[in-house]
Amino acid sequence: MNRVLVVDDEVGITSFVEKGLRRHGFTTVAVHDGEAAAALARDADFDVVVLDLGLPRLDGFEVIRRVRERGERLPIVVLTAQDDLDATVRGFEVGADDYLTKPFRFDELLARVRARLRDPGVPTATTIEAGGVVLDLRARTACVEGRDVALSAREFALAEVLMANAGHVLGREQLLSRVWGYDFDGGSNVVEVYVRYLRRKLGPDAIETVRGAGYRFRR
């Protein structure tokens, strides 16, 4: 049974991640500061680390650096609210294996953890393309017909899940669960609002409304 070290200073997030991983057969240990994370990664036997960057006592960048300077290839998946390009680049430079920004969907985190366990040396796909739109999953950037478009973290997350399922209809509840994850409000119209935002940025015909069913990203 694979062991995962979950590191985040937000107790609600560590609890959410632990519960999800345990449902899928993982054993988890959670800590909430960088010093504890660095010590456990050094002294205990883990198969993968899910690591926040904004930690007390020792930030996530330093945790990664300490793990890597010992020559360990322990897979590290960064899970953080820091979605700017500089933080992403720095994370990979110090030795992170993957980078996922909050808000996140658990199914994507699970897929990335499993990918690192299958073969830590094989990189995951870094781009998604559909309907003339290209998303760079590492740099968190979008390009429409060769033109760079700025997307917020939520807009990017919604575009990503729609484009990953281009040609297929995704219901409102599916999108709420996957994009807004643990903190979504089922009575909110937030999906409709963000679909409208994306249409303004990616093109009015990029996302089709399927009446009574949900939304579909056009191929």
Are both 85 and 147 inside the same structural domain?
A: no
Boundary of a domain, candidates 91, 118, 145: 118
For the segment 27-76, what is each residue's pLDDT rounded down to a tens digit? 899 999 999 999 888 766 788 999 999 899 899 999 998 888 877 778 99
Are both 102 and 137 inside the same structural domain?
A: no
Are both 139 and 212 inside the same structural domain?
A: yes
Q: Measure Cα distances from 43 to 14, 46, 50, 58, 196 in Å.
A: 21, 9, 17, 17, 49
Are both 172 and 84 inside the same structural domain?
A: no
Boundary of a domain, candidates 61, 83, 118: 118
Distance CA 205, CA 171 (A): 18
Are both 163 and 72 inside the same structural domain?
A: no
Are both 136 and 30 inside the same structural domain?
A: no
Distance from the first to the final alpha carbon of the chain: 39
Are both 62 and 95 inside the same structural domain?
A: yes
CATH number of residue 92's parent domain:
3.40.50.2300
Boundary of a domain, candidates 118, 146, 178: 118
For the segment 142-162, what is each residue's pLDDT rounded down to a tens digit? 999 989 999 988 898 889 889
Are both 98 and 139 inside the same structural domain?
A: no
Range of the domain at 104: 3-118
Are both 106 and 30 inside the same structural domain?
A: yes
Which residue did the predictor score with more confidence, 10 or 187? 10
Is the pLDDT assigned to residue 120 strictly greater than 50?
A: no
Q: Total domain count for the chain?
A: 2
